[in-house]
Structure 1
């Protein structure tokens, strides 16, 4: 089983939007997928309450129970676990990071968002967990994107080549219990989600070809 955590210490950057969209994409890909909602506001859980498709499992869990429930779904044959986290909760971010095989750190292409990202990057680097920043709510043009990419790279982070646009499909999806690729079938949002999913899988399964998985490497190092 692979574990993807989506973490940012800043709110409003699209964590739940990405988590739900990637979970739907994983389920479509034939993976037994579960999304763990660690946010006390339970946005992903409320999204699931309005969803008609029951093939995707979403459950709200306290961070202190995360290790236990991950072990349980691993034993049950889960293929992919995605963890959605709240902002401004360092202890929860720690839990989500240390159990992850890969971490996505979403950020808007704005100076204040990137400055807030530094705390998240420091946290992820502490565990040596593979990670990448992904830009969300991107405008169709403007120098903000290039400036943001340069700043993130200066912070020592890989920048995901997939840009998530500022599209109505993402907000509409959260209101209707759908994923953006279901709202915008065949459109740009669907393409972005598909490309992001492929990028995430490339990193999640890279360890299978490079040797010991991240979790085993981390245990061996004593961290």
Structure 2
């Protein structure tokens, strides 16, 4: 089986699919055979993003498929170098299954306590209730604003937990919304500054995955 990265959340709107797409396009650009398993059957936003991407003939090619269960996705995982499990925007049995099976679990969060607290609760549950090793969990700051103090406070909050916090962050930018509208990921944005910041976060994910699987 190839590598598995899960991107999960306790609530919607924290940048989960943004990060899943960026991971997939980064690895695909390095000639990996990648599939995004979109597990949000009610919205399937990653699948509709793929349709926009295909309509514009954007490369590299990234396969996206909607699955009703994690087990369905895992049945074909062997066919890919990397499968990114884009979880539903709420905690469920599927979230726990992703936690148990993925090599790395990324938990995106905004900077407010409304985002941070539910994600830490989810991380704690994965570890204490489902036996997921804490070192396989990594927090990613996403949809951040322009306040350095707020960013520092969020990192301090997460530093008090036993979980790894990824370097850099993905800010809230019009450029990123427009990229998604055009079938691009945030690491493919035509604007260098925001793109470089997103690149640094995804590189941190790559580095963390290599560190815990080597």
Same-fold status (TM-score > 0.5)? yes
**Pairing partner for 2:156 from 144, 147, 150:** 150
How far apart in 2 are the matches of 1:103 and 1:207? Answer: 11
**2:145–2:171 CA contact under 8 A, matched in 1:** yes
Give the one of 193, 198, 203 matched to 1:198: 203
Contact kept? 2:140, 2:165, Cα under 8 Å: yes
Q: Tell whether the 8 Å contact from 1:33 to 1:79 is kept in structure 2 after alignment.
A: yes
- Alignment-derived partner of residue 77 in structure 2: 73
* Structure 2 length-normalised TM: 0.87
Alignment of 1:2-13 (within 5 A): 2-13=3-14
SS at match of 1:10: coil
The worse-fitting range, judged by mean Cα deviation, of 27-36 and 189-198 is: 189-198
SS of equivalent residue, structure 2 residue 144: coil
TM-score (normalizing by structure 1) = 0.84
- TM-superposed CA distance for 1:26, in Å, is 0.9
- Determine if contact 2:108/2:140 at 8 Å carries over to the other structure: yes
Contact 1:124 1:131 in 2 (8 A): no
Distance 1:37 1:148, change over 3 A: same
Q: Identify which of 46, 49, 52 aligns with 1:47.
A: 49
Alignment of 1:174-185 (within 5 A): 174-185=180-191
Secondary structure (helix, strand or coil) at the match of 2:53 reads: coil
Which blocks of at least 5 consecutive residues in structure 1 are unaligned? 210-223
- Could you tell me how far apart the structure 2 residues matched to 1:17 and 1:193 are? 10
Q: Is the 8 A contact 2:37 2:73 kept in 1?
A: no
| 2: CA distance, partners of 1:51 / 1:127 | 34
Cα distance in 1 between the residues matched to 2:109 and 2:73: 28
SS in 2 for 1:13: coil
- Structure 2 unpaired stretches of 5+: none
* 1:96 has 2:101 as partner: no
